Amino acid sequence: MGATPEYLAGHYIIQGAASFLPVMALDPKENERILDMCAAPGGKASHIAALMKNTGMLFANDINKDRLKAVVGNLHRIGITNSIICNYDGRQFPTIIKGFDRVLLDAPCTGIGVIAKDLSVKTNKEEVDIQRCCTLQRELLLAAIDCVNARSETGGIVVYSTCSILPEENEWIIDYALKKRNVKLLPTGLEFGTDGFTSYRQHRFHPSLKLTKRYYPHVHNMYGFFVAKLKKFSNIIPNQNNVNEETSN
């Protein structure tokens, strides 16, 4: 017997809701300056702008110029007027503009958590693809942190998320950032989900990794997802020859 329309509707609502978990963790405020570093196709950016109530300024960036068309369409459709569309490599963004109150990095990943939507993920991903993603994720996360102003009166927040359940793309990346920048993990504020790993096989991560959240298709009835919320507490970049603390813009 096939699934009923009611079941299918509920199923896709729940699956779609998963994509808004990072925005809920980001917790945008009115009149802030916020960066969505990898914004296409624009669903999360639209949600952020709506929570900002069209105040402040939202930078919606993506490296793929063609995919930005969807971002423009989404923002236009719901009447968003506080947004600037950008087409940069996110890793270069700190050299362009920084001093943001909050940054969302929904990072490019292997998509292991969305196999239910794209069965080809099971066969077209190899170890080299995972390693390539991990390198990019580390570089993007450090750039996202460097874009945030630790002196922000309302924020100083970076949210990192992926649609992957691999520790290599999640806990390992956050653990790396904790060692490379002056950030700490905060509770995500999400009311459900499984705590992140503090150890995996022979690897041990910072104990605060338990504050991150994991979502599994077989447990939470949504795509596989990972969400982490970081607070930047100093604009000084460690091991950079005692660079003076950057002032906010």
Is 43 marked as binding a ligand? yes
Among 182, 200, 188, residue whose Cα is nearest residue 226: 188
109 is known as an active-site residue: no
**Cβ contacts of 208 within 8 Å, gap of 6 or more:** 178, 184, 185
CB 187 within 8 A of CB 163: no
DSSP secondary structure string for all residues of 111-168: -GGGTTT-TTHHHH--HHHHHHHHHHHHHHHHHHHHHB-TT-SS--EEEEEES---GG
Spell 187-199 as b/e; 16+ CB within 10 A means b.
ebeeeebeebbbe
Is 62 marked as binding a ligand? yes
CB 109 within 8 A of CB 138: no
Is 40 marked as binding a ligand? yes
CB 249 within 8 A of CB 35: no
Give the Cβ contact number of residue 146 at 10 Å: 19
Report how far residue 35's alpha carbon sits from residue 149's, in angstroms, rounded to the nearest whole number: 12
Catalytic residue among 109, 134, 147, 163: 163
Is 175 marked as binding a ligand? no
Token look-up 């990943």 returns 109
Is 106 marked as binding a ligand? yes
Report how far residue 102's alpha carbon sits from residue 34's, in angstroms, rounded to the nearest whole number: 5
Q: Where in the sequence numbering do the catalytic residues fall?
A: 163
Q: Which residues are annotated as a binding site?
A: 38-44, 62, 89, 106
Q: Which residues are annotated as a binding site for S-adenosyl-L-methionine?
A: 38-44, 62, 89, 106
